Amino acid sequence: MAMELTNTQLQQLKSALRERRTGLLESIRRQLLDADKPSYTELAGAVHDLEDESVATLLEDLDHSQLSHHVEEVHEIEAALQRVAEGNYGYCVDCGQEIEYRRLLAQPTARRCLDDQAKHERTFRGAERPTL
């Protein structure tokens, strides 16, 4: 069984969560500012090449997907910081057991122990993307 997180470990994880959130928010801000620039599709449309337009559409979709992923990750970080504030960070939401420190170092937003995360992913495979 895992040992309870020490204050030092908890502070290290909180710091990592906050730093990641700051980086993501900056990335989101830059992407939104870049949204004012001409889109790939607009630029490709001016060329009138279907192949270029197809690539431009794909690049635009990737930009939107990345932005969506960053926003989702910020939400996961906020939820992890809320669990810290409530005193239940580092405990599996399914079984209540402690999540190993090594797992939290690798994935500070983890909500489940490895066993329950594997079960969750098997259950929701092909459905919406599971949260960690």
Contact 39, 71 (CB under 8 A): no
For residue 23, name the pLDDT band (cuts at 50, 70, 90): very high
pLDDT at 41: 47
Contact 122, 130 (CB under 8 A): no
Longest distance between any two alpha carbons in the chain, whole Å: 63
**Of the candidates 24, 100, 35, 90, which has an alpha carbon nearest to the alpha carbon of residue 63?**
35
d(CA 45, CA 54): 10
Percentage of the chain surpassing pLDDT 70?
70
Structural tokens at position 20: 């990641």
Which of 32-36, 49-53, 94-98, 127-131 ranks highest by mean pLDDT? 94-98
pTM for the model: 0.72
Parse the chain into domains and list their residue ranges: 7-123
d(CA 79, CA 91): 13
Question: With 70 as the cut, is the pLDDT of residue 42 above it?
Answer: no
Average pLDDT along the chain: 82
CATH code assigned to 7-123? 1.20.120.910
Residue 109: Cβ-neighbour burial (10 angstroms; 0-12, 13-18, 19+): buried
110 Cβ contact partners less than 8 Å away, ≥ 6 residues apart: 99, 103, 104, 117, 132
